[in-house]
Each structure stands twice: as structure tokens, then as C-alpha cells.
Amino acid sequence: MKTKLIPSALIIIFCIIFLIFYKGLQNSNIYIPKNNIEIDVPTFNATLFDTDKEILSEEIFKNNKFYFMNIWSSWCIPCREEHQFLMNLGSQENIEIIGLNYKDKNQNAKKFLKEFNNPFKLIISDIDGTIAIEWGAIGVPESFLIYNKKIIKKIVGPLDENSLLEIKKIIQ
């Protein structure tokens, strides 16, 4: 009787452990930050991309106007993929696109813009990545929809057709 009890107990224990692991695999542990937020735009000093002129964030973002802040780099492959959507968004009259060139060489960024065109009204240089950190960015590309000096939407990763349509709907 003992010889049958031990294998049966092992099978029951194995089944319980299997069920625990199986349930654990079904639960996603991926952290996805909230994309619809409403926080104040961070205050920062920055250097303009082409002129090396210092600018304050208060000079960039005005009330009653939509802005789309896009963090990008020439070395970023997804940035190349999303660029067509930025060009499309840049053709809208009621929004200004601000670029934050992240940890990039100036000559490479200029070459990128020459090749793909420039959708940005203004480009800020972020050579050491500190401005992106202040914005809460976790990588490139990353974008922020801003209205009345508040971030109202955050897009982690490249823009796509769905996010572009959603932005257009919000700014209408």
C-alpha cells in the first residue's frame, strides 16, 4: 500500500506545481505605463538643434495649443518607421511637432532629416539624455501630446496608423 501511496502523492504534487506555473505563465508581467495622463510639462533649459541657442520650456509650450513632442534619434530604427506618420501629423494645422533629438550626433541627425524630411517646427538637442529622463521617457521613440502645458497622452514606441488616428481625433 505504501508503494502505491508515494507515487500517487508525487503525481498530485507535480500536478499542483504544474498548475501554479501554468497560471503564472498566463499572467502578463509586462509593465505598460499609463498612456492617458495629465501632468504638467517638465521645466527645462535646452539647446536648439541648429543654432546652439539656449531656450526655456516656457518659451516653447503655450496655452490653448496642441503640441506633439517626439523623442527621436537617427540611429533608432523604429524612428525611421514612424517618420511617415510624423510627416502626416505635421501637415495638420492645429498642432506643432517638437523634436527632442536624443543622444545623437548633430551631423547624423541632419543627414536623417535631409533623407526623410523634417516634420518638426522646433528641434531640441538632448546629447546626454537628461531632458528625456525628466519627461519620464524609457526609450526612443517616445511621444507626448500636450495641451495647455499639460501632457495629456504618452505614446511609448513608434507611432502607427492607430495612434495617429487617435491623436487626430483628440486635436479636432
Q: What is the CA radius of gyration of the chain?
A: 23
| Residue 10, pLDDT score | 80
**Using CA atoms, how far apart are residues 53 and 69, in angstroms rounded to an integer?**
19
Which strands form 66-72's sheet, in the order they lie side by side? 39-40, 150-156, 142-147, 66-72, 95-102, 122-126, 45-48, 54-56
Task: Count helices and strands (H / E) in the chain.
Answer: 6, 8
Element housing 163 (H / E): helix 161-171
Would you state the cell numbers that stand for residue 18, as one nine-digit string? 504544474
Query: What are the E-state strand segments in 49-164?
Result: 54-56, 66-72, 95-102, 122-126, 142-147, 150-156
| Residue 158, pLDDT score | 96
| Residue 30, pLDDT score | 52
| Residue 52, pLDDT score | 80
pLDDT in tens, 14-61: 888 888 878 777 765 554 555 556 788 999 999 998 888 999 988 999
pLDDT in tens, 102-150: 999 999 999 999 999 999 999 999 999 999 999 999 889 999 999 999 9
pLDDT in tens, 67-114: 999 999 999 999 999 999 999 999 988 999 999 999 999 999 999 999
Residue 11: pLDDT over 60: yes
Residue 2: pLDDT over 90: no
pLDDT band at residue 164 under the 50/70/90 scheme? very high
**Using CA atoms, how far apart are residues 73 and 38, in angstroms rounded to an integer?**
26
| Residue 170, pLDDT score | 92
| Residue 172, pLDDT score | 85
Enter the CATH code of domain 39-171: 3.40.30.10
